[in-house]
């Protein structure tokens, strides 16, 4: 039987896939001594060329995604929908693509600085992005698993991309081992879910899932563990600081944002569709995970001296905030999560890009003290960093405040609706945590503005590409805070449009 | 007649052994092998369930898992090669530069 | 409704923002300073234009509409709309915000002009001058957003914004690590308050959401507040010691939460500690932010939400008592201080306490009146103090001053006017506003212990007069105690500094007349309702009404003046005629003096109870790299290290860097998760 | 009867050799050989479960390719054993082992609850033809992604493995 296939559903993925497949080829062709232009490419020009090429693919994919955002939902194969391109998938793809584009722009000079300017970087990045895009739209367990691996395996390599650096190598190794271990757990959970329900489609599982039965719940628990690892929620978080610190900074920015975006997409879909019958039980568990993530993430971040490590802990805390929206489990809650993911991507990549620019001569300068006097020497970088820190801390009117506001508001509204005080406590703990978090976010501007640079310091000038990244993040962090309403309305609509197809089947 | 649950018990035990290996062994190559054991346990479980439900989903899933396993091993061993050439060790406990 | 839309309002805050953006972006991208005249034109022009606009719009507001309908709305766009929840980004100009914007832009403009003179020699950093004006404009913008916002969220944005700018400006002279530390302290203490503030917003939102009116707009809330007045919440058992346990009305709880925020911002007990330290910033900053505008935001917020507080007597009583106690507490501390700015800072804390006292007893318009007059005379005093400090080559200890009257006559005269005004000498502005507050307290029969509060108010008035005259005499009269070579260099300040002083002095003299009490108006000028400010403001606030016969009113005022005069006389006696007595008095009262001089050991207490946890939170940085001395002084040296060690060790125990320990934690987590879900494990 | 014997024997061998992978501390080479035996026994079980194609694949890819890769790396690096010297976290590992074993004892019986008899399946079930048919129609997309995944894996392995990148 020939299935009804809708290639158009793959629209946004195709350019990225083309990039992922052709970029290694282009790299090889250009690496030859004599190229088709009969002039050898210097390594630098080769890097720039590949970056621009991958950017092109990403931007085309971005345009297609934006077009599809409010269009009808599509499935690849109507008989056996492997992926569902609904509003949520499109939106998360947009965030992933934005994050990836900013990463590509921010990588060019950084890779040269750390002497790791290999063309394969972009090919791996594109493969990973492709995996993320499938992950956000996967509608059955097999696609979920494959997409997860397609996302993760290139990242293992990217984390170790500074081949001669012991730290980078260790980061890759840890990420690989723990990641594969978590994949194993996830896979076993999926096997059990399949065995109990007889289907690998999320929707079918949702129909047949029996929240009373122990093996069903065992499968659900293992799947939550596997996804909990990917979003690095406490207690599956410990790899994150180590891996983030050791990986090249541009890769860290990428890992800290897009991976979480995609994994949250998968988590929401799994929770809202496949495990919906067990929602109440699971939300209890997620509640604890959320509170632990927020609190431990913030407390641990306070005593960090390394910015990358501090941001890693801070990202764990942010996972806690994001889980609030997932636990709320209403359209409003999901819309808040989507919005926060967008905001989080900008503020985190902005911060990591500043750290990446500071790297020089093969050395990362990623200690908090390394930023001393930045407001004097590089005011733009200092302003971007400051705003990103304020946004991460949730100070109005930055975008971070708006994101947190929506999350906690959704929790409170839901709490009133169903008379559940635990949601109030979640919101209160969240607000308290964001107050605590200021203690360490504030250190960064403090050092930049109120301390003089050591005489030897000569921070690097941001190049054109980096300037673009910085200004984009700056604009996004400010604008999403000042005029967030249109975006949020779009998100509410996308969440609502997805509702009928896959997400939230129960009215 | 062998029943479905017997396969599941074998798969469960295999998974347990794999997990134990990841936790206990310090040789990174063996740890990767143990992760393979975990994947294989899941495979067995999937195949048995596939037989139990009489549909092919599980078998196709295993097909994909085998592909994933192959890629994972290739990449993982390459990372371990880097480790050895950088540090001359395969002991996981020697890699703790990144901490706290 | 349509005629109330006024799209000019937005320019009042936007002009300073544009000023800040232009100079800020120029600094970022051009990385050099604009020509000085341009910086001055931009920096001072923006708030002055804004002031001109404010005057025009307030005039229109007052004349165009009949009483009771006076408000302008300027709706920029929908900020948030999600589900039932809507928040517009819109500005509201009603009598309450009218008074505030006039103060903010008017006094603000004068302080901007003063800053031109004050900061002219700031060569510590080659771009400091422009940076300073950039921050100052940004602050003005944030403050205007705060007072013009027509819903709680916009107010909150301004609220955080002014905190941020205050932080930037306190730490402005960053070369001194101590300043940065003080900025940090201010920000963190404020943040504690903000936590309460946010909770209060959430609670109010919850209440109105539940009542079917999910709104946070002030006027809409005011309209529907009756619906939520009866809503109660049950307190958890461990709060059993509280009065009214176990059920409180939700409005009381929300009001208290919001007041915690106000305590932080307006430096009330127990969160006042940051304000004296905030004096580390440049003096114009102290005048603008820490005397005239930002610190009054809490008072403004309470008045703005008067409809909530009038239905929450418990919260109001708390406000009144906290305000009253803060007033007398801070006044006693101010008596012994030696740093001219610290004295003024404690005086500000005390006067803010006065305002809260008024707001607590329901005399919101009196609170706003005092807020306004206080802005005049306290800004005047701070700017005068700045001139003195400038003249004394950055000497702030009043024991090393003296005799400045000869060197700086103009500064001296304006300062004296400020001192008289704050002491409540009739007919200066402070007299009328203080009188109205005391009258309100006296007549607030519904308030438990209102007579005690009234006495507290009276005593504070006396103390205020005493410490202000002490400050005045020690600074300006007698022989100079400064070193000889310094004495020869003391000069009167240039006109750019003196001009704002004159204008503020004028305001401090006549500013009280807009709120001339009816009794005086009747008696002196036979005007039937001369307290125009009161009637103007009463449209926006829900005041308690009380009637005191005019004869009693005069008697009370006379008593207050008498007590203030007593305080002043005592100061004249001690610090002018019998300066020899001072050491003997202090010696006689040694333990008491010590207690007061060390500010009741509050800082030490805080280091035990509050700062130490705070330091624990931020210590890694503060302790090691910012200011070891500071923490030494707070006496938490060893403890901080200890706590840090514990946190460190905890992390080292868990985050070992060994991959298998992570696997272990993951397994443990998985098993717990499974146990929770599957049960029976 | 034959089926039962085959099942028990191969299940036993699979578990024993899996334990061999974990317990063989001395020689990594033997661990790899144990792994091969596990894979092969599992292939037998797969075929017993009518999954002929996957069984063959298991032999070809797992035993044939993956384990050979292991052996190759072990011999290339000349690794004897990585577990020499004192363990840095013995207590944790003991507790962890107890945790895993305890959880398994509790949880594995859960999985055996579903005592359902095997349904009859047609002769086509699990054959190359049937799997291929499904793979190239219903699961076409997954198959394509697997292809990209392999490519990404190759690129990644090359980047990591190459001795010097120009």
Q: How far apart are CA B59 and CA C508, in angstroms?
A: 88
> Which H or E run contains C66?
none
Residue C462: partners with Cβ closer than 8 Å, 6 or more residues away: C563, C564, C566, C567
> Which H or E run contains A193?
helix A166-197
Which subunits count as partners of chain A given 3+ CB pairs below 8 Å? B, C, D
* A453 DSSP assignment: P
Main-chain phi, psi angles of C92, to 5 degrees:
-125, 120
C671 touches chain B (CB under 8 A): no
Task: Give the pLDDT confidence of C375-401 residue by residue, as tens digits.
Answer: 998 999 988 888 888 877 777 777 777
Q: What is the pLDDT of residue A414?
A: 85
Q: What is the pLDDT of residue C625?
A: 38
Q: Tell me if A506 is assigned to some domain.
A: no
Question: What one-character-per-residue DSSP string does C538-603 give?
Answer: TTTS--------HHHHHHHHHHHHHHHHHHHHHHHIIIII-TTHHHHHHHHTHHHHHHHHTGGGHH
D113 touches chain A (CB under 8 A): yes
Q: Is A15:A57 a contact under the CB 8 Å cutoff?
A: yes
Q: What is the pLDDT of residue A112?
A: 84
- Fold for the domain defined by D1-83: 1.20.120
Chain D: nearest CA to C664, how far in angstroms?
6
**Residue in the block written with tokens 């840095």:** D88
Chain A residue with minimum CA distance to B62 = A142
Main-chain phi, psi angles of C213, to 5 degrees:
-125, 80
Segment of A368-382, C43-57, C433-447 carrying the highest mean pLDDT: C43-57
Question: What one-character-per-residue DSSP string does C467-515 give?
Answer: HHHHHHHHHHSSS--S-HHHHTT--PPPHHHHHHHHHHHHHHHHGGGGG
Q: Tell me if A442 is assigned to some domain.
A: yes
Chain C: nearest CA to D128, how far in angstroms?
38
Task: Give the pLDDT confidence of A317-370 residue by residue, as tens digits.
Answer: 999 999 999 999 888 888 889 989 999 999 999 999 999 888 876 677 888 888
Q: How far apart are CA C270 and CA C124, in angstroms?
A: 35
Residue among C187, C621, C662 whose CB faces A238 most closely: C662
Chain A: nearest CA to B2, how far in angstroms?
17
Task: Give the pLDDT confidence of A235-259 residue by residue, as tens digits.
Answer: 899 999 999 999 999 999 999 999 9
C132 touches chain A (CB under 8 A): no
Q: Is A181:A191 a contact under the CB 8 Å cutoff?
A: no
Segment of A136-150, A454-468, C221-235 carrying the highest mean pLDDT: A136-150
Main-chain phi, psi angles of A248, to 5 degrees:
-55, 145
Q: How far is CA C570 from the centre of its chain?
A: 29
Q: Is C52 exposed, middle or buried (0-12, 13-18, 19+ CB in 10 A)?
A: middle
Domain ranges, ordered by start, for chain D: 1-83, 123-166
Looking only at the bridges linking them, the beta strands covering C72-82 and A74-75 are unpaired
Percentage above 90 pLDDT, chain C:
8
Count of H helices and E strands in chain A? Answer: 21, 2
Q: Tell me if A26 is assigned to some domain.
A: yes
Q: How far apart are CA A262 and CA A277, in angstroms?
A: 23
Main-chain phi, psi angles of C579, to 5 degrees:
-60, -25
Nearest to A127, CA basis, from A151, A159, A94, A96: A151
Distances C661 to C652, C657, C668, D89 between C-alpha atoms, Å: 12, 8, 10, 8
Distances C209 to A336, A415, A417, C28 between C-alpha atoms, Å: 19, 12, 10, 44
Task: Note whether A215 contacts D114, CB cutoff 8 Å.
Answer: yes
Least confident of B73-82, C307-316, D40-49, D148-157: C307-316
C184 touches chain A (CB under 8 A): yes
Residue among C656, C667, C678 whose CB faces D96 most closely: C667
Chain B: nearest CA to A397, how far in angstroms?
33
Residue among A5, A24, A150 whose CB faces D155 most closely: A24
Task: Note whether B19 contacts C667, CB cutoff 8 Å.
Answer: yes
Q: What is the pLDDT of residue A243?
A: 93
> Which H or E run contains C392?
none
What pLDDT band is residue D137 in, cutting at 50, 70 and 90?
confident
Q: Which residues of chain A does C663 touch, with a Cβ-Cβ cutoff of 8 Å?
A: 178, 181
Domain ranges, ordered by start, for chain C: 1-150, 600-656
Q: Which residues of C437-449 are buried (b: 16+ CB within 10 A; e: fewer)?
A: bbbbbbbbeebee
Distances C622 to A313, B34, C484, C618, C629 between C-alpha atoms, Å: 19, 46, 39, 6, 10
Q: How far apart are CA C142 and CA D2, in angstroms?
A: 84
Q: Is the pLDDT of residue A157 over 90?
A: yes
Range of the domain at A427: 7-501
Distances C429 to C107, C294, C354, C512 between C-alpha atoms, Å: 15, 21, 15, 4
Q: How far is CA A153 from the centre of its chain?
A: 16
Q: Tell me if A2 is assigned to some domain.
A: no
Task: Give the pLDDT confidence of A215-231 residue by residue, as tens digits.
Answer: 889 999 999 999 999 99
Q: What is the pLDDT of residue C482?
A: 74
Task: Give the pLDDT confidence of B59-89 residue by residue, as tens digits.
Answer: 999 999 999 999 999 999 999 988 888 888 8
Enumerate domains of chain B plus CATH numbers.
Answer: 4-89 (1.10.287.3510)
Q: Which residues of chain C does D92 touch, with a Cβ-Cβ cutoff of 8 Å?
A: 660-661, 664
Task: Note whether B96 contacts C657, CB cutoff 8 Å.
Answer: yes
Between residues C393 and C240, which one has the greater pLDDT?
C393
Which subunits count as partners of chain D given 3+ CB pairs below 8 Å? A, B, C
Rg (CA), chain D: 20
C673 touches chain B (CB under 8 A): no
- The two structure tokens encoding residue C13: 């805050």
Q: Is A191 exposed, middle or buried (0-12, 13-18, 19+ CB in 10 A)?
A: buried
């Amino acid at each position: 039987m020939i299935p009804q296939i809708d290639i158009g559903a793959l629209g946004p993925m195709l350019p990225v896939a083309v990039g992922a497949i052709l970029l290694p080829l282009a790299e090889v062709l250009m690496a030859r001594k004599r190229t088709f232009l009969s002039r050898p490419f210097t390594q630098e020009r080769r890097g720039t060329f590949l970056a621009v090429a991958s950017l092109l693919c990403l931007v085309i994919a971005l345009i297609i995604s934006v077009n599809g955002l409010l269009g009808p939902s599509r499935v690849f194969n109507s008989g056996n929908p492997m992926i569902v391109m609904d509003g949520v998938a499109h939106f998360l793809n947009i965030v992933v693509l934005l994050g990836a584009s900013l990463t590509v722009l921010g990588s060019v000079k950084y890779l040269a600085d750390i002497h790791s300017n290999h063309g394969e970087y972009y090919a791996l990045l594109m493969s990973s992005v492709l995996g993320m895009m499938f992950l956000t739209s996967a509608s059955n367990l097999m696609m979920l698993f494959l997409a997860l691996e397609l996302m993760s395996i290139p990242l293992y390599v990217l984390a170790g991309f500074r081949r001669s650096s012991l730290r980078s190598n260790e980061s890759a190794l840890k990420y690989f081992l723990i990641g594969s271990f978590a994949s194993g757990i996830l896979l076993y959970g999926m096997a059990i879910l399949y065995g109990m329900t007889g289907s690998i489609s999320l929707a079918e599982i949702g129909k047949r899932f029996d929240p009373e039965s122990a093996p069903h719940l065992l499968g659900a628990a293992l799947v939550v563990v596997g996804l909990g690892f990917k979003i690095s929620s406490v207690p599956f978080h410990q790899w994150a600081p180590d891996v983030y610190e050791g990986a090249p900074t541009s890769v860290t920015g990428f890992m800290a944002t897009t991976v979480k975006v995609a994994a949250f997409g998968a988590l929401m879909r799994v929770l809202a569709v496949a495990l919906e019958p067990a929602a109440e039980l699971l939300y209890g568990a997620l509640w604890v995970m959320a509170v632990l993530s927020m609190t431990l993430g913030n407390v641990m971040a306070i005593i960090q001296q390394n910015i990358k490590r501090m941001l890693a802990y801070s990202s764990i805390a942010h996972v806690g905030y994001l889980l609030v929206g997932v636990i709320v489990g209403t359209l409003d809650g999901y819309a808040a999560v989507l919005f926060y993911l967008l905001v989080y991507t900008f503020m985190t990549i902005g911060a990591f890009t500043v750290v990446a620019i500071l790297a020089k001569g093969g050395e990362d300068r990623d200690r908090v003290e390394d930023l001393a006097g930045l407001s004097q020497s590089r005011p733009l970088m200092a302003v971007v960093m400051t705003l990103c820190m304020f946004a991460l801390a949730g100070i109005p009117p930055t975008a971070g405040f708006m994101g947190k506001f929506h999350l906690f508001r959704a929790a409170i509204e839901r709490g009133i609706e169903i008379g559940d005080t635990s949601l109030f406590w979640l919101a209160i703990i969240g607000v308290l945590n964001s107050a605590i978090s200021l203690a360490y976010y504030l250190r960064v501007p403090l050092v930049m503005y109120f301390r003089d640079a050591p005489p030897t310091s000569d921070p690097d000038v941001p190049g054109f590409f980096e300037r673009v990244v910085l200004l984009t993040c700056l604009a996004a962090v400010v604008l999403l805070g000042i005029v967030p309403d249109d975006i949020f309305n779009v998100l509410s609509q996308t969440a609502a449009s997805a509702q009928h197809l896959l997400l939230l089947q129960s009215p | 007649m062998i029943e479905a649950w017997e396969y599941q018990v074998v798969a469960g035990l295999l998974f347990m052994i794999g997990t134990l290996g990841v936790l206990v062994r310090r040789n990174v190559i063996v740890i990767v092998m143990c992760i393979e054991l975990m994947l294989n346990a899941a495979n067995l479980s999937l195949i048995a369930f596939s037989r139990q439900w009489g549909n092919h989903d599980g078998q196709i899933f295993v097909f994909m898992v085998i592909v994933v396993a192959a890629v994972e091993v290739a990449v993982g061993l390459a990372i371990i090669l880097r480790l050895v050439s950088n540090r001359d060790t395969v002991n996981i406990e020697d890699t703790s530069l990144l901490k706290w | 409704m349509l005629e109330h839309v006024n799209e000019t309002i937005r320019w009042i805050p936007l002009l300073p923002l544009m000023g800040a953006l232009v100079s800020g972006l120029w600094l970022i991208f051009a990385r050099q300073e604009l020509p000085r005249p341009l910086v001055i034109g931009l920096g001072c022009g923006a708030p002055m234009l804004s002031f001109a606009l404010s005057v025009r719009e307030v005039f229109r507001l007052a004349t165009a509409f009949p009483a009771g309908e006076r408000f302008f709305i300027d709706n920029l766009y929908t900020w948030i709309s999600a589900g039932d929840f809507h928040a517009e980004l819109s500005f509201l100009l009603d009598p309450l915000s009218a008074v505030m914007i006039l103060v903010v832009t008017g006094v603000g403009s004068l302080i901007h002009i003063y800053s031109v003179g004050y900061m002219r020699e700031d060569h510590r950093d080659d771009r400091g001058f422009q940076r300073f004006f950039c921050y100052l404009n940004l602050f003005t913008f944030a403050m205007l957003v705060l007072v013009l916002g027509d819903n709680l969220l916009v107010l909150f944005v301004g609220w955080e914004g002014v905190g941020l700018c205050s932080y930037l400006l306190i730490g402005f002279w960053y070369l001194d690590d101590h300043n940065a530390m003080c900025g940090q302290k201010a920000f963190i203490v404020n943040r504690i308050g903000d936590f309460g503030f946010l909770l209060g917003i959430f609670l109010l939102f919850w209440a109105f959401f539940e009542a079917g009116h999910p709104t946070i707009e002030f006027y809409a809330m005011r309209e529907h507040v009756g619906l939520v007045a009866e809503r109660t919440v049950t307190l958890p058992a461990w709060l059993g010691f509280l009065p009214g346990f176990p059920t409180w009305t939700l409005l009381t709880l929300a009001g208290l939460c919001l007041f915690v925020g106000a305590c932080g911002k307006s430096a009330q007990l127990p969160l006042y500690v940051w304000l004296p330290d905030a004096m580390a910033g440049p003096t114009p900053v102290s005048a603008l932010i820490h005397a005239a505008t930002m610190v009054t935001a809490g008072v403004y917020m309470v008045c703005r939400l008067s409809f909530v507080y009038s239905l929450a007597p418990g919260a109001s009583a708390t406000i009144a008592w906290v305000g009253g106690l803060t007033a007398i507490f801070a006044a006693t501390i101010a008596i012994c201080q030696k740093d001219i700015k610290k004295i003024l800072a404690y005086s500000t804390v005390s006067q803010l306490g006065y305002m809260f006292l008024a707001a607590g007893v329901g005399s919101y318009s009196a609170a706003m009146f005092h807020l306004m007059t206080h802005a005049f005379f306290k800004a005047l005093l701070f700017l005068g103090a700045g001139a003195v400090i400038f003249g004394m080559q950055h000497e702030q200890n009043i024991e090393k001053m003296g005799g400045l009257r000869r060197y700086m006559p103009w500064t001296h005269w304006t300062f004296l006017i400020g001192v008289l005004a704050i002491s409540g000498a009739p007919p200066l502005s402070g007299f009328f506003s203080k009188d109205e507050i005391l009258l309100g307290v006296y007549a607030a029969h519904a308030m438990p212990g209102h007579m005690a509060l009234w006495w507290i108010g009276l005593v504070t008035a006396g103390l205020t007069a005493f410490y202000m005259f002490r400050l005045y005499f020690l600074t300006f009269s007698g022989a100079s105690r400064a070193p000889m070579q310094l004495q020869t260099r003391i000069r009167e300040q240039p006109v750019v500094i003196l001009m704002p002083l004159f204008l503020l002095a004028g305001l401090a003299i006549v500013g009280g007349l807009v709120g001339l009490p009816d009794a005086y108006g009747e008696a002196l000028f036979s005007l039937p309702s001369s307290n125009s400010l009161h009637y103007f403001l009463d449209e926006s606030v829900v005041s308690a009404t009380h009637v005191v016969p005019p004869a009693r009113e005069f008697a009370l005022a006379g008593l207050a003046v008498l007590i203030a005069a007593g305080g002043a006389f005592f100061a004249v006696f001690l610090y002018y005629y019998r300066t020899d007595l001072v050491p003997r008095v202090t010696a006689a009262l040694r333990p008491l003096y010590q207690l007061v001089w060390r500010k009741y050991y509050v800082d030490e207490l805080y280091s035990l109870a509050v700062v130490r946890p705070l330091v624990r939170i931020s210590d890694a940085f503060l302790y090691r790299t910012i200011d070891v001395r500071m923490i030494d002084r707070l006496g938490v040296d060893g403890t901080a290290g200890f706590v840090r060690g514990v946190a460190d060790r905890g992390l080292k125990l868990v985050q070992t860097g060994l991959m298998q320990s992570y696997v272990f934690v993951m397994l443990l987590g998985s098993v717990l998760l499974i146990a929770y879900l599957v049960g029976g494990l | 009867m034959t089926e039962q014997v085959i099942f028990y024997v191969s299940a036993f061998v699979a578990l024993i050799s899996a334990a061999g992978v974990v317990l063989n501390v001395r020689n990594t080479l033997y661990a790899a050989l144990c792994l091969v035996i596990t894979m092969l026994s599992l292939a037998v079980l797969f075929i017993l479960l009518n999954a002929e194609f996957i069984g063959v694949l298991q032999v070809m890819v797992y035993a044939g390719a993956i384990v050979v890769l292991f052996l190759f790396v072990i011999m290339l690096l000349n690794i004897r054993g990585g577990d020499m010297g004192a363990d840095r976290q013995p207590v944790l590992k003991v507790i962890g082992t107890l945790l895993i074993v305890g959880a398994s004892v509790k949880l594995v019986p859960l999985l055996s609850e579903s005592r359902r008899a095997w349904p009859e399946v047609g002769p086509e079930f699990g054959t190359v033809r049937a799997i291929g048919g499904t793979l190239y129609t219903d699961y076409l997309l997954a198959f394509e992604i697997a292809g990209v995944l392999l490519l990404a894996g190759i690129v990644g392995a090359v980047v990591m493995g190459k001795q010097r990148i120009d």
